Amino acid sequence: MKAGRGTPHGGVYLDIASRRSAEYIRKRLPSMYHQFRELAEVDITAEAMEVGPTCHYVMGGVEVDPDTEAARVPGLFAAGEVAGGMHGSNRLGGNSLSDLLVFGRRAGLAAAEHALTRIGRVELPDEALADAARAALAPFDHEGGENPYTVQHDLQQTMHDLVGIIRTAPEMEQALERIAALKERVANLSVEGHRQYNPGWHLALDLPHMLVVSECIARAALEREESRGGHTRDDFPATDDEWSRTNLICSRAPDGSVALTRQPLPGCRPSSPRSSSRERACEFRGAERRRERRAPARRKRERARELRRGRA
C-alpha cells in the first residue's frame, strides 16, 4: 500500500470468491457475507472485497501492579485495555474479555480496600481547581480557532501513515515532528454550543491526552529497534532477545515532555509464604516443568512396582 499498489481507498483487495464456492462462503462466513452485502453492496461470493488495516487493540497502557492493578498514582487503578503489560506484544484472539473479568475483579477488590483504609480526603488548592476549570472552558472563549475534528483527523492520518503496522525510524521521527505541531494547534481550539452533550467539546478535552498517548507510542516504537508481535520495524525486521527482558516506560518529565526509560521485566522471585500470585504462577510452572522432566523415570518405577505386585 505504501508503495502505491493499494486500492483507491488505501486498502487491498481480499478475494475469496475465486478460492471457495458460493455455498461454502455463505455457510462459513455468514456475518461477513451479510455485512458486505448490506453495507457495501458487495457480493463476496462473486467479487473481491476491499479491506484496510485498522487499530484493533492497544497493547501498551498504564503501568500497573499485576496483583492489585494499582498504578503509580496513589488511588488510581487500571484494568482492561487501558492497562499495559498483560498481553506482551501480541494479544491472543479472544482473551481480552477474560482479562477484563480477572483483572477487573482484582482492581475492584484493591480499590475497595484502598477506599476503606485511606484516611481523610484529598485536598486540592482552590487555585488549582480554578486553573483546571479555566483550561477546560477555554475552547468556548477562543473565537476563530480550529475545529477539534480537523485536528483529530490529522492526528489519525499521522499515526496511520507513519506509526502504522510496519514502521521505520524516519517515518516515526516525522510523526513526532507532526505531533509537536499538532500540540500547538490544540492550544487554539474553538468549540461552539453549550456544555451539555457537546461531543466537540469532549473531543477538545480529550485531544491533549490523545497527543500524549500518540507521542508515547511513537517514541517507544522508535526506541525498540527490533520486530516483535504487533510491532514491525521494516528497518529492524529480526526479533532481538535482549528486548524480551525490557519494558519501555513513558512518564511526564518536569518540563511537560514525554520521558522514556528502559525497565527490566520483573522476573520469577524465590518462593516465600507471602508469595504473590505472579510468584506462585512462576513456582507452579517451575514445579510442573520439574514433574515433566522426571515423568519418564517415574513411569518406569511405577511399571516396575506393578510388575513386582503382579509376580507377588
CA distance 90 to 42: 32
Binding part of the chain for ligand FAD, among 88-96, 143-151, 159-167, 218-226 by CB under 6 A, reads 88-96
Binding part of the chain for ligand FAD, among 16-24, 61-69, 95-103, 119-127 by CB under 6 A, reads 95-103
Characterize the bridge pairing of strands 232-233 and 258-264. Answer: unpaired
153-192: which residues touch ligand FAD (CB under 6 A)? Answer: none
The 3 state secondary structure assigned to the chain is CCCCCCCCCCCEEECCCCCCCHHHHHHHCHHHHHHHHHHHCCCCCCCCEEECCCCCCCCCCECCCCCCCECCCCCCECCCCCECCCCCCCCCCCCHHHHHHHHHHHHHHHHHHHHHHCCCCCCCCHHHHHHHHHHHHHHHHCCCCECHHHHHHHHHHHHHHHCCCEECHHHHHHHHHHHHHHHHHHCCECCCCCCCCCHHHHHHHHHHHHHHHHHHHHHHHHHCCCCECCEEECCECCCCHHHHHEEEEEEECCCCCEEEEEEECCCCCCCCCCCCHHHHHHHHHHHHHHHHHHHHHHHHHHHHHHHHHHHC
Give the residue with the Cβ less far from ligand FAD, 136 or 259: 136
Count interface residues toward ligand FAD (CB under 6 A). 10
Give the residue with the Cβ less far from ligand FAD, 210 or 222: 210
| HSE, side-chain direction, 13 A CA sphere, residue 138 | 15
Using Cβ positions, the residue closest to ligand FAD within the complex turns out to be 80
As measured in angstroms, the least distance from the Cβ of 39 to ligand FAD is 15
* Joined grid coordinates for residue 148: 477539534
Contact letters for ligand FAD, residues 48-87 (x by CB under 6 A): --------xx----------------------xxx-----
Give the residue with the Cβ less far from ligand FAD, 46 or 101: 101
As measured in angstroms, the least distance from the Cβ of 84 to ligand FAD is 12
Give the residue with the Cβ less far from ligand FAD, 100 or 169: 100
Using rule CB under 6 A, residue 100 touches ligand FAD? yes
As measured in angstroms, the least distance from the Cβ of 198 to ligand FAD is 13
208-237: which residues touch ligand FAD (CB under 6 A)? Answer: none
Longest dimension (CA), the chain: 99
As measured in angstroms, the least distance from the Cβ of 46 to ligand FAD is 26
As measured in angstroms, the least distance from the Cβ of 303 to ligand FAD is 44
As measured in angstroms, the least distance from the Cβ of 78 to ligand FAD is 9
As measured in angstroms, the least distance from the Cβ of 93 to ligand FAD is 7
Give the residue with the Cβ less far from ligand FAD, 56 or 293: 56
As measured in angstroms, the least distance from the Cβ of 202 to ligand FAD is 7
Give the residue with the Cβ less far from ligand FAD, 81 or 226: 81
Contacting residues toward ligand FAD, per CB under 6 A: 56-57, 80-82, 94-97, 100
